[in-house]
């Protein structure tokens, strides 16, 4: 559209829903985004890389209640998990947005208000089958079951019939504008096959979209009509504008909006390729350039799911092989857009063959020869011969192709090209046989040239892999005694021959030690290990002072009444005697104790915990309990104690 060179790049991941801990799928999207961001920075662009978490909605309300926390507390915890993983994976995001942040909520409300005034949002009545799990009304065409109910086609659970007052987005008005937009921007949805799906979906006609709920409390209130909350998808999608400064940092927003690429999993394509541009058209924003739907990672050819217990925990792999091997594997194995199959065999094979044998061993053998023949000093090269020139030219051609492929988000193809060059460097050494020349003093100059050339090639490879393997790239440059890091050298400044003779190189360590398959499987699949490593961050001891401890008002409480909270499996509503007052608390102990078990019993509660509403029931305190496999075990006293007694 704009003819002039665009000097900015704005890339996003979806914001991840905090009802789940991060897994390999989250890692995959985010790694793609990171590689693109790093590459664009090398190009000299101002890059804005946004990721974050989606924290509203019924599912989170529910998940939090089951854990006996407030939704915000649950979100706070899960956010830490995401941030930890991103750090381990060297994700260079610029901002981590949370939809519970004040500026986001305000921004969403403002846009909502704007569309309401414009008439693109109107109030109506909605009746439909609603799936609690998917937080979605079922499509009208889902057939009735024999018993007259409907089953959610996505999750297989039974839906409930709801009628509610609702605000609607006038999506129907945007059918033609969307089709026109797709026609004018064939790259808007990638890969192409997804674009076809989107277009054919829109051609079938679009109905107005219900975008508020009265059944959900944990969400952004509709401005001026707070018994409605804004539907989680309308809320979440707008993170891409609020996270880029809309309504709170005009300069940031001006600089980066519209986004260059929204990376998403193919499951959320419709939201991003249809609803989102329609919302943006309505609000008068320019539209993003590309929505890229990547594929799924399967585990040994089958879909990963919690129920199958085959979800891959990235932490175990990271511990064993480091971030770069995982980043490389995920980006190299499969073109973005297709499904991939993750097997331990495949992973180990690729890491050993590409990273240990091809790349790692090349670095090792080259540097070792410089140590052996030139005492670790980069030699002054002798005259350049045809074969040397060819290697340099091959590099230039490779670099040009790799850049073009990175520009096109074709990461696996880019890596493939780099590896073709890598093979050529290994062949160059095999052809030149520097180890033979080293035995003849009169060949010293020739030897110097060959090793110099090989070092240049290694340095160049280090540069090209930087977006995908930043740590390894830095290690390689560090071995070469470079004063800069590859990430600090702009593409336009990079030159194959910018290697300084006389510099000392460092003694290399194996970049990627070969992995033994059996050992790897043993370590990664050890069942206890997963739990251990997952718990580690939370169990790290952090001291508090006695004064801090004193702030907690721990009291003995006696249970007066207890009842189950309908619709939950874990929650009990308890009336408790605290000596001089009676309180109500919600406790997640119903899987271990029935209401009758607890009446008359005494235990310890934190009396000055900030009250919270859990599943619509106010909780004025929390009881202390041990948790084993998600089940609560309450510590009781071995004799009777007067209610209200302080516990220290």
- For position 372 contacting RNA by CB under 7 A, the verdict is yes
Whole-angstrom CA distances from 106 to 99, 103, 221, 243 are: 10, 5, 10, 12
- For position 106 contacting RNA by CB under 7 A, the verdict is no
CB of 283 to RNA, least distance (A): 25
Q: Binding RNA by CB under 7 A: which of 34, 66, 358, 474?
A: 358
Where is 368: in which H helix or E strand?
helix 361-374
CB of 397 to RNA, least distance (A): 17
Identity of the residue, 86 or 428, whose beta carbon is nearer to RNA in the bound complex: 428
Map the footprint of RNA across residues 267-306, applying CB under 7 A: 270
Q: Binding RNA by CB under 7 A: which of 363, 455, 565, 622?
A: 363
Cα gap 159→145, rounded to integer Å: 11
Tell me the number of residues near RNA by CB under 7 A.
40
353 phi and psi, to 5 degrees?
A: -75, -45
Map the footprint of RNA across residues 40-79, applying CB under 7 A: none
Where is 4: in which H helix or E strand?
none
Site pattern 514..533 for RNA (x: CB under 7 A) = x-------------------
Residue 167, beta-bridge partner list:
123
Closest CA to 175 of 199, 139, 206: 206
- For position 601 contacting RNA by CB under 7 A, the verdict is no
Identity of the residue, 414 or 598, whose beta carbon is nearer to RNA in the bound complex: 414
Residue 577, beta-bridge partner list:
558, 582
Q: Binding RNA by CB under 7 A: which of 369, 399, 480, 605?
A: 369
Cα gap 29→86, rounded to integer Å: 11
- For position 353 contacting RNA by CB under 7 A, the verdict is yes
Cα gap 109→54, rounded to integer Å: 16
Q: Binding RNA by CB under 7 A: which of 345, 433, 525, 563?
A: 433
Cα gap 401→336, rounded to integer Å: 17
**Contacting range for RNA; rule: CB under 7 A; set: 1-9, 53-61, 427-435, 583-591:** 427-435
Dihedral over Cα of 71, 73, 74, 75: its sign: positive
Is omega for the bond preceding 331 within 30 degrees of 0, making it cis? no
CB of 296 to RNA, least distance (A): 9
640 phi and psi, to 5 degrees?
A: -75, 140
**Contacting range for RNA; rule: CB under 7 A; set: 44-52, 67-75, 377-385, 424-432:** 424-432
- For position 435 contacting RNA by CB under 7 A, the verdict is yes
- For position 441 contacting RNA by CB under 7 A, the verdict is no
614: helix, coil or strand?
A: strand
- For position 564 contacting RNA by CB under 7 A, the verdict is no
Identity of the residue, 206 or 590, whose beta carbon is nearer to RNA in the bound complex: 206
Cα gap 77→601, rounded to integer Å: 31
Cα gap 217→56, rounded to integer Å: 9
- For position 440 contacting RNA by CB under 7 A, the verdict is no
**Contacting range for RNA; rule: CB under 7 A; set: 430-438, 481-489, 531-539, 610-618:** 430-438
Cα gap 570→62, rounded to integer Å: 11
Cα gap 120→99, rounded to integer Å: 23
- For position 394 contacting RNA by CB under 7 A, the verdict is no
Neighbours of 374 (CB within 10 A): 19
CB of 188 to RNA, least distance (A): 16
Q: Binding RNA by CB under 7 A: which of 72, 83, 106, 365?
A: 365
Cα gap 311→298, rounded to integer Å: 9
CA angle 348, 351, 354 (to 5 degrees): 135
- For position 478 contacting RNA by CB under 7 A, the verdict is no
Site pattern 179..198 for RNA (x: CB under 7 A) = --------------x--xx-
Residue 632, beta-bridge partner list:
627
- For position 159 contacting RNA by CB under 7 A, the verdict is no
Identity of the residue, 158 or 364, whose beta carbon is nearer to RNA in the bound complex: 364
Q: Binding RNA by CB under 7 A: which of 201, 285, 403, 496?
A: 201
CB of 356 to RNA, least distance (A): 4
Cα gap 352→516, rounded to integer Å: 9
Q: Binding RNA by CB under 7 A: which of 356, 457, 473, 505?
A: 356
End-to-end CA distance of the chain: 69
- For position 512 contacting RNA by CB under 7 A, the verdict is yes
Three-state helix/strand/coil letters over 464-497: HHCCCCHHHHHHHHHHCCCCCCHHHCCHHHCCCC
Map the footprint of RNA across residues 80-99, applying CB under 7 A: none
**Contacting range for RNA; rule: CB under 7 A; set: 200-208, 212-220, 404-412, 579-587:** 200-208
Q: Which residues bind RNA (CB under 7 A)?
A: 139, 141, 193, 196-197, 200-201, 204, 266, 270, 338, 349, 352-353, 356-361, 363-365, 368-369, 372, 423, 426-427, 429-431, 433, 435-436, 510-514
């Amino acid at each position: 559209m704009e003819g002039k060179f665009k000097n900015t790049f704005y890339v996003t991941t979806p914001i991840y829903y905090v009802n789940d801990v991060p897994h390999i799928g989250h890692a995959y999207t985010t790694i793609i985004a990171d590689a693109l961001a790093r590459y664009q920075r090398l190009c000299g662009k101002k890059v804005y890389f946004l990721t974050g978490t989606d924290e509203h909605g019924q599912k989170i309300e529910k998940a939090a209640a089951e854990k006996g926390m407030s939704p915000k507390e649950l979100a706070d915890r899960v956010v830490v998990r995401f941030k930890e993983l991103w750090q381990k994976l060297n994700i260079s995001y610029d901002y981590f947005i949370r939809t519970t942040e004040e500026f986001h909520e305000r921004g969403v409300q403002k846009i909502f208000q704007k569309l309401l005034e414009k008439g693109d949002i109107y109030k109506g009545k909605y009746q439909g089958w609603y799936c609690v799990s998917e937080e979605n009304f079922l499509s009208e065409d889902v057939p009735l079951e024999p018993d007259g109910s409907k089953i959610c086609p996505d999750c297989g659970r039974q839906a409930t019939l709801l009628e509610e007052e609702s605000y609607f987005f006038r999506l129907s008005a945007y059918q033609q504008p969307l089709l026109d937009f797709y026609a004018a921007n064939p790259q808007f949805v990638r890969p192409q096959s997804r674009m076809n799906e989107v277009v054919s979906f829109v051609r079938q006609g679009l109905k107005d979209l219900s975008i508020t709920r009265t059944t959900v409390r944990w969400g952004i209130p509709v401005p001026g009509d707070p018994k409605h909350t804004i539907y989680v998808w309308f809320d979440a999608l707008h993170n891409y504008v609020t996270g880029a400064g809309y309504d709170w940092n005009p300069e940031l927003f001006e600089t980066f909006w519209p986004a260059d690429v929204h990376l998403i999993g193919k499951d959320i394509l419709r939201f991003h390729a249809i609803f989102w541009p329609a919302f943006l058209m309505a609000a008068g924003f320019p539209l993003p350039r590309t929505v890229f739907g990547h594929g799924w990672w399967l585990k040994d050819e089958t879909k990963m799911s919690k129920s199958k217990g085959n979800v891959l925990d990235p932490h175990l792999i990271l511990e064993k092989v480091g971030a770069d091997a995982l980043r490389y594997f995920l980006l190299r194995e499969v073109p973005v857009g297709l499904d991939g199959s993750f097997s331990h065999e495949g992973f180990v094979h690729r890491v050993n063959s590409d990273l240990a044998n091809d790349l790692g061993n090349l670095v090792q053998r080259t540097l070792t020869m410089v140590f052996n023949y030139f005492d670790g000093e980069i030699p002054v090269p002798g005259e350049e011969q045809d074969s040397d020139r060819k290697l340099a030219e091959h590099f230039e051609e490779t670099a040009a192709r790799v850049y073009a492929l990175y520009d096109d988000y074709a990461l696996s193809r880019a890596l493939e090209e780099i590896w073709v060059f890598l093979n050529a460097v290994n062949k160059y050494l095999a052809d030149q046989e520097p180890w033979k020349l080293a035995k003849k003093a009169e060949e010293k100059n020739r030897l110097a040239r060959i090793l110099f050339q090989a070092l240049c090639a290694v340095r160049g490879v280090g540069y090209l892999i930087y977006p995908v393997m930043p740590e390894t790239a830095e290690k390689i440059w560090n071995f070469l005694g470079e004063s800069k890091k590859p990430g600090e050298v702009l593409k336009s400044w990079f030159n194959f021959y910018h290697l300084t003779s006389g510099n000392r190189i460092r003694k290399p360590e194996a970049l990627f030690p070969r992995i033994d398959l059996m050992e790897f499987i043993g370590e990664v699949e050890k069942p206890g290990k997963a739990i251990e490593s997952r718990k580690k961050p939370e169990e790290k001891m952090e001291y508090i002072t006695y004064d801090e401890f004193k702030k907690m008002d721990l009291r003995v409480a006696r249970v007066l009444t207890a009842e189950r909270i309908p619709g939950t499996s874990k929650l009990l509503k308890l009336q408790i005697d605290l000596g001089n007052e009676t309180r109500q608390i919600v406790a997640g102990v119903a899987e271990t104790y029935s209401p009758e078990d607890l009446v008359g019993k005494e235990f310890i509660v934190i009396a000055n915990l900030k009250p919270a509403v859990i599943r619509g029931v106010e909780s004025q305190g929390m009881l202390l309990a041990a948790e084993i496999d998600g089940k609560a075990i309450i510590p009781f006293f071995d004799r009777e104690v007067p209610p209200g007694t302080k516990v220290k």
